Amino acid sequence: MVISRTPFRVSFFGGGTDYPIWYKKNQGSIISTSINKYSYVTCRYLPPFFDYNFRIRYTKQEYTNKISDIIHPSVRECLNYLKFKKGIEMQHNADLPAMSGLGSSSSFTVGFLNALYALRNQMVDKQKLAMDAIYVEQNLIGESVGSQDQTISAYGGFNKIDFCDKHDIKVRPIIINEKRLNLLQNHLMLFFTGFSRRASNIAKTQIRMTPKKTKELNLMLKLVDEAYKILMDSKFPIAEFGKLLDENWKIKKSLTTKISNGIIDQIYNSAIKAGATGGKLLGAGGGGFMLFFVKPSYQKRVLQKLKKLLYVPFKFENYGSQIIYKMPDDF
């Protein structure tokens, strides 16, 4: 039996430039971090006592004899990709809900691949794990997704990630002193809006609009570099990071009409009026989690203003997808 633990992520800047349609012709770059909220995948070879070969448990339960009959697209295509012949049992648990803007689907794909490799007594490096997950989601499943979520889930940590082409993804850890890192974390607040959405449906529209949004995406790339300078140079007040988040959110909203809506705008404006410097809706848009940059002295006011939403404290994490348990099967 194998258990993998794979982190979710919070993306700050550059979202949208990690779509292949953009970075295969232009540079893509993001600033993002993995967080201490996780996807857990438990896998084992299925004992030979059942009249099915695959037992798959997530929000639903599936019992099938053939991989092709598995409904869950990531489970089916990961097993196909690694050419699994033996029957397996898989169970998925997570700290946070799916379809919420924290890269949950990619965290699952990365964690499941990691667990399957471990079942075969194989250890793969983080780059291969990320590239395998990107290939499964974009090519085999055919999802309208970017390449940042798989990379962050595999690598973990607080990073600037550059996308040059489909074979060249560079992960650069953002190395700042502990005091400044804690200062940044202490200014961040995460709230769940209470409604989820299917990111791929929203992303399809954004991908279709990408060739017409060159100006906006280049502005978002510029903000990645500006945010990186603020983080690396303590001469800049950390509040400048929050101001850039506000600027980035205004640009992101202009990419398509599906990214925000009246409810999201109302939540954002309420947080700003209560003292938040900036923020953003995480993920493709439409719902899920919202991140705000708030001075500690204003955080009680923001909590009161957004009291109908679920506040979720979090911390950055540095490990990425890990095998946290492995024992040989008796069969």
Q: What's the sign of the alpha-carbon dihedral 89, 93, 98, 104?
A: negative
pLDDT digit string (tens) for 208-254? Answer: 767 778 899 999 999 999 999 999 999 999 999 999 999 999 998 88
Residue 149: CB partners within 8 Å, gap ≥ 6?
9, 103, 105, 106, 107
| Of 22-31, 106-115, 275-284, highest mean pLDDT | 106-115
pLDDT(285) > 90? no
The SS3 assignment for 133 reads: helix
Residue 98's pLDDT is what? 81
**Cα–Cα dist 325/65, whole Å:** 27
Closest CA to 289 of 319, 254, 316, 314: 314
Q: Which residue has the higher pLDDT, 34 or 85?
A: 34
pLDDT(192) > 60? yes
Residue 144's pLDDT is what? 86
Q: Which residue has the higher pLDDT, 76 or 21?
A: 76
Lowest model confidence (mean pLDDT) among 2-6, 100-104, 116-120, 294-298: 100-104
Q: Which residue has the higher pLDDT, 48 or 201?
A: 48
In whole angstroms, how far apart are CA 30 and each of 11, 119, 125, 273, 278?
8, 33, 21, 28, 18
Give the strand pairing for 158-165 and 61-64: unpaired
Q: Specify the fold of 2-174+317-326.
A: Ribosomal Protein S5; domain 2 (3.30.230)
Q: What average pLDDT does the segment 54-80 reach? A: 97
**Are the C-beta atoms of residues 153 and 104 closer than 8 Å to each other?**
no
The widest CA-to-CA distance across the chain, in whole angstroms, is 66
Exposed (0-12), middle (13-18) or buried (19+): which is 89, by Cβ within 10 Å? middle
Residue 27's pLDDT is what? 87
**Cα–Cα dist 331/316, whole Å:** 39
Q: What percent of the chain has pLDDT over 90?
A: 79
pLDDT(201) > 80? no
Write down the mean pLDDT value for the chain: 92
Lowest model confidence (mean pLDDT) among 99-108, 136-145, 164-173, 300-309: 164-173
Residue linked to tokens 């991140």: 291
Q: How many CB atoms lie within 10 A of CB 96?
A: 20
pLDDT digit string (tens) for 83-131? Answer: 998 999 999 999 998 878 899 999 999 999 999 999 999 999 999 999 9
Closest CA to 81 of 67, 98, 62, 100: 67
Residue 202's pLDDT is what? 59
pLDDT(198) > 70? no
| Of 118-132, 189-203, 279-293, highest mean pLDDT | 118-132
User: In this structure, what token pair is assigned to residue 222?
Assistant: 């510029």
**Cα–Cα dist 321/73, whole Å:** 20
* Cα dihedral 147→113→67→331 (10° resolution): 180
**Are the C-beta atoms of residues 8 and 96 closer than 8 Å to each other?**
yes
Residue 97's pLDDT is what? 86
Task: Match domain 178-311 to its CATH number in 1.10.3720.10, 3.30.70.890, 2.60.40.10, 4.10.520.10.
Answer: 3.30.70.890
In whole angstroms, how far apart are CA 91 and each of 76, 316, 330?
14, 26, 19
Residue 317's pLDDT is what? 97
Supply the pTM of this predicted model: 0.93
Helix (H) and strand (E) counts in the chain: 11, 12
Give the residue range(s) of CATH 3.30.230.10 domains in the chain: 2-174+317-326
Give the residue range(s) of CATH 3.30.70.890 domains in the chain: 178-311
Residue 205's pLDDT is what? 64
Residue 328's pLDDT is what? 87
Residue 30's pLDDT is what? 97
